[in-house]
Amino acid sequence: MSKLYITGQNRLSGSVCVQGAKNSALPILAATVLTKGESVLYHCPDLTDVEASMCILRWLGCRASRDSDTVTVRCDGVSRNDIPDELMRKTRGSLAFLGAVLAASGKVRITLPGGCQIGQRPIDLHLKSLRRLGAVIRERHGWLECRAPHGLKGADIALPFPSVGATEAVMLAACTASGTTVLTNAAREPEITDLADFLNRCGAKIDGAGESELVIEGVGELRGCDHAIIPDRIAAATLITCAAVTGSDITLKGVIHSHLAGILPPFEDAGCRFTAHKNELRVSAPQRLRSMKIVRTMPYPGFPTDAQAPLLAAAATADGTTVMIENIFENRYRHVSELTRMGADIKTEGKFALVEGVPRLYGASVEAADLRGAAALAAAGLCAEGKTELCGVQYLDRGYERFEQVLTELGADIVRV
Ligand code: UD1
């Protein structure tokens, strides 16, 4: 298992291109099983989660290869409809194959997906929605067996919560179903819009992506297309955090400003200044951050749960008290005990975290328990006095492309051992 050794307190400077979005790439890769012919995905991040989805595609009989940041997939129907447990467990993104393979072959047999342990992460909304489209689902011995004996048929579906995963499941299952599906209270995340853009380019008819109501008119067949994955707003938020905690001035290249609208306000409250120019964003952080008062994680366009852990690391070093309210996942403070080892003063109770900012964090040996928690600990290490030994780097590799190289280019002192 590799570790990162981070020597803190280096100022960062310069510019960096933001990687493609993991949470777009994963459902889009699953969507390719619905297509005939070749799809070329540009700006597709090189991550272990993406590699895991490509392995699933190969298992299903598709061809998938990478050349630099371009992934090419060729699927002319799937040759099997089961996905073994060891492949399902590699990434949470494997769940997107449920709706996609069901639609492609009328049957799918999978186990529950892996991914970060940030809460119970039930899939009841996925299953209820697929049943509304005509799926018959049986859960036995840890396997989910899903069939569409009379084909999938468009339906009206209302989600009680705008779940990202359930919205994707409906889009994937409904775009080649017979008839029209109307999904209300759909998730509005940019990654949903990216999936809709990809599917529409393949010939699907999905209207309303980015809004709460999606109308999906089923079409007969989809063909592969060329598509550029959107920039990763959570990777951008993580880089902003790294600049914020080190009092640095850096420029992010290749961002979509509107996607960051819900992310910047707490950083602005903390005293960071942002200058937008074309698709670049310059971040200028003060010597010491101010507290952010109250931050709530919310579905898009609110502050994203995926940026909560990095922001908490920034709040830990800010001047004053910050209250974080985690509204999406019930077990997403696993980085707190490790931040405490570095000198942070944070107390959690249920969905609340009370952060009393301290003037300085100190390097320590810490272990990440999930992807975004790993990013939070790395950011804390960047501003801490002394050396931080970060274990659990495999989580970081799920979602951040060339993490230590990117930060080293900006002036950080990070070594992977
Ligand atoms: C996706 C992202 C994850 C991000 C999250 C919220 C991927 C691989 N993961 O996760 O990085 O943090 O969106 O932006 O894209 N829920 C249910 N039943 C369901 C589905 C969800 O109760 O069937 C609940 C969840 O427990 C959670 C909330 O809904 O409390 C949000 O979950 P959801 O939006 O579905 O997140 P994921 O798709 O798991």
- pLDDT at residue number 132: 98
Predicted pLDDT of residue 114: 86
Distance 385 CA to ligand 1 centre (A): 36
The whole-angstrom separation of Cα 236 and Cα 233 is: 5
Strands 352-356 and 321-325: antiparallel
Radius of gyration for the alpha carbons in the chain, expressed in angstroms and rounded: 21
Q: Measuring CA to CA, which residue among 1, 53, 61, 56 is closest to residue 24?
A: 53
Confidence of residue 115 (pLDDT cuts 50, 70, 90): confident
Probe residue for ligand 1, chosen from 125, 129, 132, 164 as the CB with the greatest number of ligand atoms within 8 Å = 164
CB-ligand 1 contact for 93 (6 Å cutoff): yes
User: What mean pLDDT is predicted for residues 305-333?
Assistant: 97
Two structure tokens written together for 226: 């060329």
Distance from residue 312's CA to the centre of ligand 1 (Å): 20
Distance CA 164, CA 243 (A): 29
| CA 73 – CA 228 distance, rounded (Å) | 14
Could you tell me the CA-to-CA distances from 383 to 73, 188, 229, 371, 412 in Å, in that order? 41, 34, 32, 19, 10
pLDDT tens readout for residues 26-73: 999 999 999 999 999 999 999 999 999 999 999 999 999 999 999 999
pLDDT recorded at residue 117 = 85
* Distance of alpha carbon 198 from alpha carbon 191, whole angstroms: 10
Is 352 a residue whose pLDDT tops 90?
yes
So what's the pLDDT on residue 141?
A: 87
Q: Which of 129, 328, 371, 400 most suits a substitution to test ligand 1, by most atoms within 8 Å of the C-beta? A: 328
The per-residue pLDDT for 348 is 97
DSSP-assigned states of every residue in 223-261: E--EEEPPB-HHHHHHHHHHHHHTT-EEEEES--GGGGT
Residue 163 CA to ligand 1 centre (angstroms): 5
Q: Looking at the predicted structure, is the pLDDT value of residue 329 above 90?
A: yes
> 113 with 95: CB under 8 angstroms?
yes
What confidence score (pLDDT) does residue 377 get? Answer: 98
Tokens (6 digits) for 412: 């950080």
How far, in Å, CA of 98 to CA of 7, rounded?
43
116 a catalytic residue: yes
d(CA 312, CA 336): 8
Token pair of 363, please? 């390097």
Q: What's 177's DSSP letter? A: S
Q: Are 403 and 396 in contact (CB under 8 A)?
A: yes
Of all residues in the chain, the percent with pLDDT exceeding 70 is 100
What pTM did the predictor assign? 0.97
pLDDT digits (tens, 9 = 90+) for 215-226: 999 999 999 999
Residue-level length of the chain: 417
CA atoms within 13 A of residue 293's CA, in its CB half-sphere? 5
| Residue identifier of the C-alpha nearest atom 12 of ligand 1 | 306
* 360-383 pLDDT, tens digit each: 999 999 999 999 999 999 999 999
Ligand 1 contact, 335 CB (< 6 A):
no
Q: Identify the pLDDT of residue 73.
A: 98
What would the pLDDT profile of 161-182 be if each residue is shown by its tens digit? 999 999 999 999 999 999 999 9
- First and final C-alpha spacing in the chain: 9
Residue pointed to by tokens 């070329």: 40
Q: Closest Cα to residue 29, out of 110, 100, 104?
A: 100
- Residue 275: strand pairing partners: 282
Per-residue pLDDT band for 116 (boundaries 50, 70, 90) equals confident
Q: What average pLDDT does range 115-142 have in this prediction?
A: 92
For residues 180-188, give the mean pLDDT: 98
Please write the tens of the pLDDT for every residue from 258-282: 999 999 999 999 999 999 999 999 9
Q: Is 332 in the pocket of ligand 1 (CB under 6 A)?
A: no
Residue 274 parent element (H or E): strand 273-277
Pocket test for ligand 1, best of 137, 161, 395 (most atoms within 8 A of CB): 161
C-alpha to C-alpha distance for 292 and 42, rounded to whole angstroms: 36
Indicate if the pLDDT at residue 324 is higher than 90. yes
Whether the CB of 126 sits within 6 Å of ligand 1: yes
Quote the pLDDT of residue 77.
Answer: 86
| Mean pLDDT, range 183-199, rounded to an integer | 98
pLDDT the model gives residue 119: 82
Per the listing, tokens 């640095």 go with 248
- Cα(270) to centroid of ligand 1, in Å? 28
Half-sphere exposure of 175 (CA within 13 A, CB side): 31
CB 193 near ligand 1, within 6 Å: no
Peptide bond into 162 cis (omega under 30): no
Among protein residues, the one with the nearest Cα to ligand 1's atom 5 is 164
Closest residue (by CA) to atom 8 of ligand 1? 93
